[in-house]
Amino acid sequence: MGNREKKQKPKILLFFRRLLIVAAIVGAAVCMILKGFAVKQVQVSGNQLYSDKQIEDWVLNDRYSGNTLYVYLKYRFFPVQEIPFIDTVEVSLQSPQTIQIQVYEKGMIGYFYMPTIGQNVYFDKDGFVAETSSNTLEGVPEVTGLSCQDATLYEKLELDQKGALKTLLAVTQTLKKYELEPDRIDYGSQGDITVHYDSVAVKLGDTENLTEKVVRLEKILPNLEGQSGTLHLEDWTEDTTDITFRREEQ
């Protein structure tokens, strides 16, 4: 028994020695991960509706988010929590201590209030419902004169006004192309369009000669800054080029 115990002691000592070496290696690796992958910089791009800080707070949202490797692996296998008006968010590592957050916002070009659900219905350039929310977003024009029975997220709008969606998409996309997004768009009972910029109302009429009307608007609008009144473009044609601006009496 004595000889057997003497033989076992070196084996036990060797086992613990190896265990200590493994523990030391693991400890060193953990320290390296904690210090070498500490978050020191967060880069956010693609966001317009939310600030960099808001996006950062949504992504780095738990007690372990101070570690870049943890954040990367977390969102490698699990999606970022759903954020209103945001389509997708991609998280990557620019360096061991820098996180890159790429934001892809939903391409909303207008919204209207729907009383039956008590929310605003936002739609994209193809006429699909991009979001429903009680929030009002700056930079997205409100559309008045519309109604519909139902608005299902990610499905095409079915407006009560026949032909309204096609008209609105043409108007909003043309205005966006020329960077003339208005504060509000009025859809009239006859399908006529009026767009508003501060205290200036611009009557576009129907979509005939729409691009040409918007080109004229692009040149005229800067000269109307600070004024109140109505710019009449609804009757503009290549043959009748008169454009009038009727000032409001103060």
At 175-224, the pLDDT tens digits run 989 999 999 999 998 889 999 999 999 999 999 899 999 999 999 999 99
Strand pairing class (108-114; 119-124): antiparallel
Residues of the chain with CATH 3.10.20: 41-105
Which fold would CATH assign to domain 108-247?
A: Rossmann fold (3.40.50)
Check: CB of residue 209 under 8 Å from CB of residue 236: yes
**Identity of the residue numbered 142:** E
Rounded Cα distance between 48 and 148, Å, is: 29
Which fold would CATH assign to domain 41-105?
A: Ubiquitin-like (UB roll) (3.10.20)
**Structure confidence by residue, pLDDT tens digits, 5-62:** 555 556 666 666 666 666 656 665 665 655 667 888 999 999 888 899 999 999 998 8
Rounded Cα distance between 112 and 108, Å, is: 12
Residues of the chain with CATH 3.40.50: 108-247
Strand pairing class (193-197; 184-187): antiparallel
